[in-house]
Amino acid sequence: DADVTQTPRNRITKTGKRIMLECSQTKGHDRMYWYRQDPGLGLQLIYYSFDVKDINKGEISDGYSVSRQAQAKFSLSLESAIPNQTALYFCATSSGASGELFFGEGSRLTVL
Amino acid sequence: AQSVTQLGSHVSVSEGALVLLRCNYSSSVPPYLFWYVQYPNQGLQLLLKYTTGATLVKGINGFEAEFKKSETSFHLTKPSAHMSDAAEYFCAVSSDSGTYKYIFGTGTRLKVLA
């Protein structure tokens, strides 16, 4: 089984719908992250969490919210999806700033 | 604030030729530097990282990178390209300063020509 698991892997939805992307990890890491990948833009940080009670906005948090339900679970929500949120979303974990990021396989979201 | 610049969004090399992917960073504190690779339809995986110590870092699949503080660079090299190296490569920076948070470059897509 993968260390970082994202569900769903693919989702097509309509404008205005609420969408939740889920992430769970078995690495035992406290730090979890949500990134968005768009072609030519690299990865942009949406939200990050250093423990269950710590949630921080990243570079592009508008239109998104997160929930850290447990050390191992970190969910990303789009309350009212819009077409420019069509992207590939990655969850990642790390043990600290000098440690590597461990990525899930990504959730491809299409908003029509 | 930290930032990363990757020169060249697309790089093509012939099989067996030298691979050189460029990364320059900006950081007001000692940086931690990373190279990740992304194969199609997959997440990113670590190639190598620099934290402290030896400035020439060796990674997986024959890749290496050298941290040059005076040039604020962390270029990725491989002496001889293989077809399986075709992928997208991302440079990233983090640090112990503040509540961090990794910053990524925009990526370089490597194409290997037969």
Coil, strand or helix at A14: coil
| Cβ atoms of residues A46 and A76 within 8 Å | yes
How do beta strands A107-111 and A10-13 pair? parallel
Cβ of A104 under 8 Å from any chain B Cβ?
yes
Q: Is residue A98 scored above 90 in pLDDT? A: no
Q: What is the pLDDT of residue B34?
A: 94
Q: Which residue has the higher pLDDT, B95 or A44?
A: A44
Cβ of B45 under 8 Å from any chain A Cβ?
yes
Cβ of B67 under 8 Å from any chain A Cβ?
no
Q: Report chain A's mean pLDDT, rounded to a whole number.
A: 93
CA distances from A37 to A9, A88, B29, B38 (A): 14, 5, 26, 12
Cβ of B15 under 8 Å from any chain A Cβ?
no
Which member of B36, B45, B99 has the closest CB to residue A50? B99
Q: Is residue B105 scored above 80 in pLDDT? A: yes
Q: What is the pLDDT of residue B27?
A: 85
Q: Is residue B97 scored above 70 in pLDDT? A: no
pLDDT in tens, A22-37: 999 999 999 999 999 9
Which residues in chain A touch residue B29, judged by CB atoms under 8 angstroms apart?
none
Q: Is residue B99 scored above 80 in pLDDT? A: no
